[in-house]
Amino acid sequence: MTDQEKLNKLVNSLGGRKPLANYLGVSYGNVKAMLRKGKKDLPNWGKSMLYVNDIIMSNERQELEQKIINWGNSKNLNNPVKQTLKTLSEAGELADAVCKSELDKSIELNDILDLVENGDLDDVVDAIGDIEVCLTILKNQLGLRQIHCIEVAYEEIKDRTGKTVNGTFVKS
């Protein structure tokens, strides 16, 4: 998707150019120029496009999460205990996929990117996606929001001390 397409999508989702200008902190005239010409030399272009990308990704994630929740509801997935067990099962599949992959031999980022491009991590990607689906349904069942869960976890670990041993953090 081009920058112009992203901007147009955001204009539509926010309800017009003026709300977009307010959100991005740029003038209405700059938004018009951004939409018309895509002038990257306009003030705050780079920063504005970062915001646009973040908003679009956030909106797309929300839409996808709602689809997952609707799917879970249509399948009568309403038992948090069973959903937790399903999540653990998927985590086991992730562990299996990682163990079967070449990840332990791929220390450099470029090596890992090559594994992704070659499809060598398809089972890992699938397992991570399955876990995300399970957690999305579980959060919905419990009435929790992802950001809250992450904030609680971060608050717990942020001051943790310890050391990394063989690639694994061991707390003191």
Q: What is the pLDDT of residues 109-141, one digit of tens each?
A: 667 777 777 777 889 889 999 999 999 999 999
Checking if the pLDDT of 27 tops 60, the result is yes
The pTM of the full predicted model, rounded to 2 decimals, is 0.67
CA distance 49 to 142: 35
Structure tokens at 34: 């951004």
Please give the residue that has the higher pLDDT: either 171 or 51.
Answer: 171
Neighbours of 2 (CB within 10 A): 8
Q: Which CATH architecture has domain 77-163?
A: Orthogonal Bundle (1.10)
3-state DSSP call for residue 85? Answer: helix
Helix or strand holding residue 137 (H, E): helix 122-142
- Residue 84: band (very low, low, confident or very high) from pLDDT cuts 50, 70, 90: very high
Please give the residue that has the higher pLDDT: either 44 or 168.
Answer: 168
Among the residue ranges 53-57, 116-120, 163-167, the one predicted with the least confidence is: 53-57
Handedness of CA 13, 14, 17, 23 (dihedral sign): negative
Among the residue ranges 14-28, 78-92, 93-107, 109-123, the one predicted with the least confidence is: 14-28
Checking if the pLDDT of 51 tops 70, the result is no
Confidence at residue 56, expressed as pLDDT on a 0 to 100 scale: 67
